[in-house]
């Protein structure tokens, strides 16, 4: 199962569903290639800007948009795509990872990739266990 499928599965289990963002005129924001931060404008209409952490994969409003975009980035990385022992949770502009990884090099790769996703301000890995370190401590 891909990272993105897991994030969608967790959202469905929690009952969270993205809601369309609207301007004060009721116009739905839609993905505009190259212009994810703006709604279609009329002369008197003000620009509605979404914080990057709430921009979904297709430019729509999504309360878990950052987590989904991080999952998408993980799916595109050949080594990280194979990890099925981590979970991604979004808290605003912070990504928390929970679970375990094989070694510190893998953890560093995961952190670096998550930090590269636009909108990520912090990556919390306090709840990630590094297996090679636990084996050495016993």
Tens digit of pLDDT for each residue in 61-103? 999 999 999 999 999 999 999 999 999 999 999 999 999 999 9
What's domain 3-137's architecture?
A: 2-Layer Sandwich (3.30)
Q: What is the domain partition of the chain in residue ranges?
A: 3-137
Rounded Cα distance between 76 and 132, Å, is 25
Q: Model-level pTM? A: 0.71
C-alpha dist (Å) from residue 6 to 11, 12, 24, 43:
9, 10, 34, 42
For the stretch 29-66, pLDDT in tens is 444 344 444 455 555 566 668 899 999 999 999 999 99
């Amino acid at each position: 199962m891909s990272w993105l499928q897991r994030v969608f599965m967790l959202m469905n289990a929690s009952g969270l569903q993205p809601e369309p963002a609207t301007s004060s005129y009721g116009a739905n924001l839609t993905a505009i290639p190259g212009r994810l931060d703006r709604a279609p404008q009329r002369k008197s209409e003000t620009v509605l800007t979404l914080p990057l952490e709430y921009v979904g994969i297709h430019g729509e409003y999504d309360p878990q948009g950052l987590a989904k975009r991080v999952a998408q980035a993980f799916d595109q990385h050949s080594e990280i795509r194979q990890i099925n022992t981590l979970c991604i949770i979004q808290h605003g502009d912070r990504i928390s990872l929970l679970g375990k990884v094989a070694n510190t090099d893998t953890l560093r790769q995961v952190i670096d990739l998550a930090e590269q996703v636009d909108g990520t301000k912090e990556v919390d890995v306090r709840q990630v266990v590094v297996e090679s370190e636990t084996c050495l401590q016993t």
